[in-house]
Every structure is written in C-alpha cells, then in structure tokens.
Amino acid sequence: MITNIREQPVRISAQLKQSGVFHPLSGSGYRHNLYSVTLKTARARVSFEYYDSARAYKDGKTELIPADLLFALECFLNDAQAGAESFEEFMMLREYTRAAAAHVYAECVKSAAKAARILGEGWRDAAAEYIELMNL
C-alpha cells in the first residue's frame, strides 16, 4: 500500500517473521505476531520490526491490512521522534526502568536514523504532521 508524507509517496509492506512470540518488553505473557515492515520512498528503503496485538494473534490473523500498515508506520514515526530526544528527555517522559529505557532508546535512535533516510531533511516536522493527521 502507498500513503503520502508531505506529498512524498511511501510504500508500506509487511512480511510475517514469526507467529506466537512474546513481546520482549511487555512481560505480559501474551503472544504476538512479529512482522518485518518495509518502507520505501524515492530516497531509500528501510525495514523495522513490528509486533501486532495479542488479540490479532489470538484471532489467527497473519497478515496486516492497510489500516494495520498505517498504524505500524505511525508507531515507527513515534519511535523515531523519541529517538531524536536526549536520553534524559526520553527517561523523563516514559515509565521505564533505566535498563529497559537504555534498550528501548537505542532502538528509537535507530528508527530516527531510518526516518531521516527515507524522509530527508525536516523529517521530524514531517513525522509530527503525519502523526497529527492520523489522529484527527
């Protein structure tokens, strides 16, 4: 599927990597599906891991529909924005132990670098605008 961020086409696709896995940070004991989501623009192609809901796994869902792909993109952009913060800001705004925060923050920093590759200069503003539009 294709969506636009600041009039820039972004192709989103996903492949199921594993079914019935535990989310590494939830600690809930619920199983999820793990997908590899790929974003492609004229600039670059990047991939990231995405865990869907425990409900989706329980219901036997193994493919992401367009609404799920858009939500995965939104999650990625939220993570990217968090990765552009300082670690101290990240810690203040979220309820993680310091050890968990260090792991999550490192992944968010990777997402920020990927977002910059696919969206270019001004990616933070573009991401914020996109997230705001998705939540109207």
pLDDT at 136 over 90: no
What pLDDT is stored for residue 56 in this prediction?
95
Per residue in 62-108, pLDDT tens? Answer: 999 999 999 999 999 999 999 999 999 998 888 888 888 898 999 99
Instruction: Write phi, then psi, for 112 (nearest 5 degrees).
Output: -60, -40
- Domain residues for 50? 2-134
In a 3-state reduction of DSSP, which class is residue 122? coil
Mean pLDDT of 26-55: 94
What pLDDT is stored for residue 99 in this prediction?
82
What predicted TM-score, i.e. pTM, was given to this entire model?
0.92
What is the Cα–Cα distance from 34 to 16, expressed in whole angstroms?
A: 6
Residue whose entry in the numeric block shows the structure tokens 């492609």: 40
| Domains held by the chain: number | 1
Per residue in 12-24, pLDDT tens? Answer: 999 999 999 998 8
Pairing mode, strands 2-5 and 8-22: antiparallel
What pLDDT is stored for residue 118 in this prediction?
96
CA contacts within 13 A on the Cβ side of 116: 10
Three-state SS across 23-90?
CCCCCCCCEEEEEEEEEECCCCEEEEEEECCHHHHHCCCCCCCHHHHHHHHHHHHHHHHHHCCCHHHH
What pLDDT is stored for residue 8 in this prediction?
93
